[in-house]
Structure 1
Amino acid sequence: MGKHGLGELEHQTMLALLRLKDEAYTAPIAEELETRTGRRTTTAAVYIVLRRLEDKGLVESVLQDPGDEGGRDRRYFQVTELGIEQLRQARQAYTSLWEGLDTVLAKG
C-alpha cells in the first residue's frame, strides 16, 4: 500500500473526491462522507485530512472565485495520479484480506 499507507478517513475522503468530481470542496465532501458511511464528519476535520493528503501529494487543490454566486473563494480538491495509485494499492490489499472471509462473516 505504498510507503505510508492511507488512514481510514484519508481513504474515504479520497473516494468522496472522486465521486464529487468538480464539486469537491469541504462542505460537500463532509456531506458525502456522512451519506456514504453514516458517520458525521465536520468540515474542519475534512479540511485537516485534505491538507494532510495534499502534503503527501495525494490530492491537489485550486482556489476559485465564486463568480456571480458571490461569497468567499472556495478551495476545490482533486485526487492526483499518485493518489489514484495509492487507492488502487489499498483496494488490492483490502480485496486480498477479505478473500475467503465471506462464510466467516456471514455467520451471525
Structure 2
Amino acid sequence: MSENLGGFEHRVLLAMMRLGACAYTVPIVDELERVGGRTVSPSAVYVTLRRLEKRALLTSEMAPPGPGEGGRDRRVFTVTADGVRLLRDTRRDLMDLWSGVEALKP
C-alpha cells in the first residue's frame, strides 16, 4: 500500500484499535490523552476521523447512546480492513527504520 499516515492520524487509528469495536470522539480523545500525557482537542480528533473516513480507512454510522447513558445519537467509527493493513504496513516500515538506529537503543 503506497498511502502514508501522518503522526496524528497514526495515533488516532491506534487509539481506536486499543478501544476496540466502535469508537466515538470522546473515548478516543480520552485514550490519546491517557497514553500521550497531553491535552488533545476533540475537534482535531473529529476532523482527523472524517479525513480518515474519506480515505476509506474507517467507516462511521450514527448510534444511540448506550444503556444508562443519556443524550443524543453519536457518530461511531470503525477501522476498516484497509485501515488495519495500513497500520501494519506503517508498523513494519517504522520497525525496519528503528532497527538501524543504534544510538537510541536502551
TM-score computed with the length of structure 1 as normaliser = 0.88
Mapped partners of 2:105, 2:80: distance in 1: 37
Instruction: Determine helix, strand or coil for the equivalent of 1:105.
Output: coil
Q: Who is 1:8 aligned against?
A: 7
Q: Percent identity?
A: 46
TM-score computed with the length of structure 2 as normaliser = 0.89
Q: Who is 2:79 aligned against?
A: 79
Equivalent positions of 1:20-99 (< 5 A) are 20-22=19-21, 24-66=23-65, 69-99=69-99
Q: How many residues align?
A: 105
Mapped partners of 1:18, 1:4: distance in 2: 19
Whether contact under 8 Å (1:13, 1:33) holds in the other structure is yes
Unaligned stretches of 5+ residues in structure 2: none
Structure with greater helix percent: 1
Between 70-79 and 82-91, the greater mean CA deviation after superposition? 70-79
Unaligned stretches of 5+ residues in structure 1: none
Instruction: Determine helix, strand or coil for the equivalent of 1:63.
Output: strand
The 1:22–1:106 alpha-carbon spacing in structure 2 relative to 1, beyond 3 Å, is: closer
RMSD: 1.7
Whether contact under 8 Å (1:22, 1:76) holds in the other structure is no
Mapped partners of 2:66, 2:45: distance in 1: 24
